[in-house]
Structures are given as C-alpha cells and as structure tokens.
Amino acid sequence: MSQSQFVSRCTADAMVLAAQKLKDGHLVAFPTETVYGLGADATNKTAVAQIYAAKGRPADHPLIVHVHTMQAMGDWAEDIPTYAIDLARDFWPGPMTLILNRSSLAQDFITGGQKSVGIRVPDHVVALALLNAFYAIGGKGVAAPSANRFGHVSPTTAQAVKDELGNYLQEQDQILDGGPCTVGVESTIIDCTGDMPKILRPGAITAEMISTSTGLDVADSVDSNTEKIRVSGSLEAHYAPAALVLLDLQPTTGQGFIALATTPTPKDVVRLASPNNDVEFAQTLYASLRKADELGLSYVVIEQPTGSGIAVAIRDRLMRAANGR
C-alpha cells in the first residue's frame, strides 16, 4: 500500500474523506478502544467480501456492526430485550458487543447466515468521528473485525495494521492512525437473544458489571441445551503469533517472557513486557506478542494473571494463542 493511504492526522476533513471511502465501497482501518478494526459499509455485500479476502477469514464467521449511537441498534435488530437496552445505556460507547435478533437490514453476509447480529458503539474519538461522518452521508453501520490476518494477533497500533495487512489492501483503502488502543483486548460479547445475558467472549465488561446493570444472573456460556452462536474470536486457536506460546512455565535461555513486573526475569531470557497490573497486561499483550515475532523468537512463555476482572479476558486470549494458528 502507498504511504498516502496511511492517515496520521485524523482531522474532521480526514474523517469525512474516510467516510466517503466507506460509502464508495472501500475499506478503512480505524482505531477503537479495544483493537484496530478493518471497516466496510455493513450494507454493501461486495465491500464486506473485501474484508474477508484481506483477512483470509472464513465466510461463515460473522462480523460485528459498529454504529454511532445506541439508538442505531434498532436499525439492525428487533425484539430487543429490556436488559440489552440497560446494558447499552450503561456501557456504550464502550468495549461491549451485544448479540441481538437481527432485522432485515442485517444480511447473511454480515451474520454468517445466523439469525442474530453483533452490534457495538466503540469508545474512541476517531472511531466515533468516522461513524458519525458515515451516518451523515447515509451510512447505517460499519462492519469491522480486527484489522489482521485471520487467527493472527490483533493490532493495537496503526503501524501493526500496516505491517499485517499492507500487502492485502487495495490502493483506495485507508488506515487511520489514532494512536495505541487503551483497552488492548477485544470487546466483551454478550448474547442477548435469550431471557438472560450470556457472555460468549470475555472482555473489559465483566460478568459482575453485567449483573449489576441488568439485575440478572449471567448465564453460563457452556449450555448444551441451546444452539451455539458463532462469534468473532471464538475458535480454539486464535490471537496467535508465529512463535509458540507456552503458559505458566519457567522460561529458558533464548525464550521470550511476559509476566507482571513483580516476577523477575530469569538469566538469558528475553523480557517482552513487565506490566504493573492486569489493565497494563491487556494493553501491552498483543504488541508484546508481535515483538516476539519481530525478534524471531521461537517460544514465548507467559505467566498468566490470576483473579477476576479483565484477567479473565486475558486468560481467554492466551488459551487460544497457546493453541497456535
């Protein structure tokens, strides 16, 4: 891709131009608070197909529709339960995706042929500016999975997007640089198609937060009595670098190592990250895994954070990363 496609000054004019690119059927990679997304007009089948091609993504893997305000979920979903509205009011804009019964606007090429659709309002000034500019010219929503090759480590900087997808984007596509992502792991995905909320992918919005918001218990996502909904990042092997990820082992000479700062670095081990807490762990995780590949390391040993909160999401991503590509 040419350098002109890489936009570092995300001015209001730049957002208008990027929104028009989406309207014209091109792809725009943009930052959210979680990771960078690769966006296309969610009503344009041809444009959405370009996402799948650029990522190498399976055709039946559904996409999340990003909208500018919670009111817009009424365009994409129907029979929205009260508790889903409570969640939207409390956590949007924010790192939360709601799975809802789809409307006629949500076509099979977005939902992977399922009767449900994922929707979220991201909490990032550039993402919201882009979505508002797109809405202003008639756009209904932007489909945007993470801006990386399928199964690889999600990007948390614009440079990581360029490194990952530069050879797969077209001349008219664009990458918006909004700085590093503040959360660092993908949104919590909550199934809202039943009588109670169910977490399908953990993230920064925790079960405790969901229960407090809705006044409901959070259902177990492993329920043999219900049809399993396919969602982004749900495969056993995902979020993986080229290096082999090993969990909770003692690192040896030449291996990469990621652990909280309280854990010392053994001799001749390559320390990739020393976060001070779980929030920093999430923020730096993907960049650290990418650094391992840049250094040509064969193994990365990661000491997983324990406990609740965003540590649950980190452990989920690490379990999938350890299964490789």
What percentage of the chain carries pLDDT values higher than 70?
95
Q: Helix or strand or coil: residue 248?
A: coil
Unique residue bearing structure tokens 């390391």: 297
Question: Mean of the pLDDT values across residues 287-307?
Answer: 97
Phi then psi for residue 66, to 5 deg, are -95, 130
CATH superfamily, with its number, for domain 3-214? DHBP synthase (3.90.870.10)
**Tell me: the pLDDT tens digits for 50-96?**
999 999 988 889 999 999 999 999 999 999 999 999 999 999 999 99
Under the banding of pLDDT at 50, 70 and 90, the label for residue 41 is very high
Q: Residue 254 has which token pair?
A: 């030449």
Distances in Å between the Cα of 295 and the Cα atoms of 204, 290, 291 are 30, 9, 6
Please tell me the predicted confidence (pLDDT) of residue 224.
Answer: 41
C-alpha pair distances (Å), 79 with each of 118, 192, 218: 14, 10, 20
| pLDDT reading at 233 higher than 70 | no
Nearest to 301 by CA among 248, 236, 237: 248
Please tell me the distance from the alpha carbon of residue 101 to that of residue 216, in angstroms, as a whole number: 19
Return d(Cα 99, Cα 64) in angstroms, integer: 9
Ramachandran angles phi, psi of 213, nearest 5°: -65, -45
Amino acid at 111: T
* Average pLDDT rounded to a whole number, residues 19-30: 97
Q: Which residue has the tokens 């530069």?
A: 166
- Predicted confidence (pLDDT) per residue in 187-208, tens digit: 999 999 999 999 999 999 999 9
Q: Which residue has the higher pLDDT, 25 or 224?
A: 25
Mean pLDDT in residue range 207-218: 97
Which residues are CB-contacts of 207 (< 8 A; sequence separation ≥ 6)?
Answer: 199, 218
What CATH class has 244-322?
alpha beta
DSSP letters of 56-120?
T--TTS--EEE-SSGGGHHHHBSS--HHHHHHHHHH-SSSEEEEEEB-TTS-HHHHTT-SEEEEE
pLDDT at 272 over 70: yes
pLDDT digits (tens, 9 = 90+) for 107-157: 999 999 999 999 999 999 999 999 999 999 999 999 999 999 998 999 999
Integer Cα distance of 165 and 221 in angstroms: 32
Please check whether residue 121 is in contact with residue 93, taking contact to mean a CB–CB distance below 8 angstroms.
yes
Asked if 213 and 196 touch (Cβ cutoff 8 Å), the reply is no
CA separation (Å) from 34 to 44, 106, 255? 25, 23, 28
Q: In terms of DSSP bridges, do strands 64-66 and 28-31 run parallel, antiparallel, or are they unpaired?
A: unpaired
* Domains of the chain by residue range: 3-214, 244-322
Give the phi and the psi of residue 7 in degrees, each rounded to 5.
Answer: -100, 110
Per-residue pLDDT, 225: 43
pTM, two decimals, is 0.94
Q: Which residue has the tokens 């993908």?
A: 186
User: Tokens 């995905």 map to which residue?
Assistant: 189
Closest CA to 175 of 7, 3, 1, 2: 7
Quote the longest CA-to-CA distance of the chain: 59
What phi, psi does 143 have (nearest 5°)?
Answer: -75, 130
CA distance 293 to 315: 20
Measured distance CA(311)–CA(83) in Å, rounded? 25
Q: What is the mean pLDDT of the chain?
A: 94
C-beta separation of 240 from 227 below 8 A: no
* CB crowding 125-140: b at 16 or more within 10 Å, else e: ebbbbbbebbbeeebb
